[in-house]
A = this chain, B = another copy of it.
Amino acid sequence: MRIAILAHDKFAPTDAKTAACLLRYRRDEVVAVVDRSKAGTDAGAVIPWATGVPVVASVKDAAALRPDALFIGIAPVGGALPADWRAELLDALRAGMDVVSGLHTFLNDDPALAEAARRVGRRIVDVRRPPVERRITTGEGALVDSLVVLTVGTDCSSGKMTATVELAREARRRGLDAAFVATGQTGIMVGCDEGAPVDAIVGDFMAGEVERMVLACAARGKSPIFVEGQGCITHPAYSGVTAALLHGAFPDLLVLCDEPARDTLRFPCARPFRTNPLPFEVRANEMLLEPTTGGKVAALALMTRGLSDAQAAQELRKAEAETGIPAADVYREGGVARILDGVLDMAAKRGLL
């Protein structure tokens, strides 16, 4: 597939998380990033692993590179389409591209967009549309033989998706028949064994859908099954989704993701909320799991971007000293191997392998 990514005024590693992840995991398919504020530059100037991908001013400019699909490269809070992006989507459809969106607002429900797609015979894919089947947790997830590992975080956007994808890839490199279960729109877009946009599912059915995906992977003999976490169990806006994953996935082990440099939670709010110390988040997650699987945090995945190697090493040692849990950065050489070692070590000690 040839992909263009729409990220007007927002192309940056954190603001355009979807764009950054597509460039990380589907780099060979991406032909252009559309951002009028950075037109004429190379995407590598913003995201190191994107070198060679041109940034263009408009979808019309991107069309010259013949993309098959325009992916919306952002996942804003609340998930609505920026109003002035709509014309760009119409241009994409008219130029013969599919449109792939992870927004909460479903583009197929926009009559003008749906009609434009129909007229040119292209598709609008709303990745965040929840599954039609609604499922309540049955507890079967607690009986699964596969090793199930869930990522959790000290905040949203703390590296859970990347850690989960990298852990599954590293496990496969070691010959394990690992699965990646995506629970958010970006994970689904980068490719997964099972995927559902859990934060777009009605409250009562979130946990049941996650359980279903784990059961589906287990039935195919997959192990370990790495489940992408969402939000943070103490986050005022997102803890509901986090709790549903924590229980619905019935994880044997957790990997806790954190950005040491962050001191306030990342969401638009009337007053700042502080991030919690690692030991607090370890205890809170483990406490909620105690009655179901008794799962423990096996490793810490720290995002040390912006720090020197020496500073990063210091943060990792500090986190390990505070928690007694091995820590590494999946974005640094050898990081994901060390985290997987931590997971497999604890799995062996607890008789889970």
Q: Which residues of A line the B interface, CB within 8 A?
A: 77-79, 104, 130, 134, 136-143, 198-204, 206-208, 233-244, 246-248, 250, 267-271, 273-274, 276, 280, 283-284, 287-288, 290-292
Question: Could you write out 18 A-B pairs with CB less than 8 Å apart?
Answer: A77-B136, A104-B134, A104-B204, A136-B237, A139-B236, A203-B206, A234-B288, A234-B290, A234-B292, A236-B248, A236-B250, A237-B247, A239-B288, A240-B240, A240-B244, A243-B244, A280-B290, A284-B288
Q: Is the CB of A273 within 8 A of B244?
A: no
Q: Which of B207, B267, B283 contacts A240 (CB 8 A)?
A: B207
CA of A43 to CA of B104 in the docked complex: distance in angstroms? 46
Q: Is the CB of B284 within 8 A of A143?
A: no
Q: Is the CB of A291 within 8 A of B234?
A: yes
CA of A237 to CA of B134 in the docked complex: distance in angstroms? 13
| Nearest chain B residue, comparing its CB with the CB of A248 | B236
Contacts of A236 in B (CB 8 A): 137, 139, 141-142, 207, 247-248, 250, 292
Q: Is the CB of A235 within 8 A of B206?
A: no
Given contacts A137-B237, A137-B267, A243-B243, list 5 more A-B pairs with CB under 8 A: A78-B134, A139-B269, A203-B240, A233-B243, A239-B288
Q: How far is the CB of A267 from chain B (nearest CB, A)?
A: 7
Contacts of A247 in B (CB 8 A): 234-237, 239-240
CA of A200 to CA of B203 in the docked complex: distance in angstroms? 6
CA of A143 to CA of B237 in the docked complex: distance in angstroms? 15
CA of A237 to CA of B139 in the docked complex: distance in angstroms? 8
Q: Is the CB of B274 within 8 A of A291?
A: yes
| Nearest chain B residue, comparing its CB with the CB of A242 | B243
Q: How far is the CB of A249 from chain B (nearest CB, A)?
A: 10
Q: Is the CB of B291 within 8 A of A139?
A: no
Q: Which of B130, B139, B233, B283 contacts A270 (CB 8 A)?
A: B139
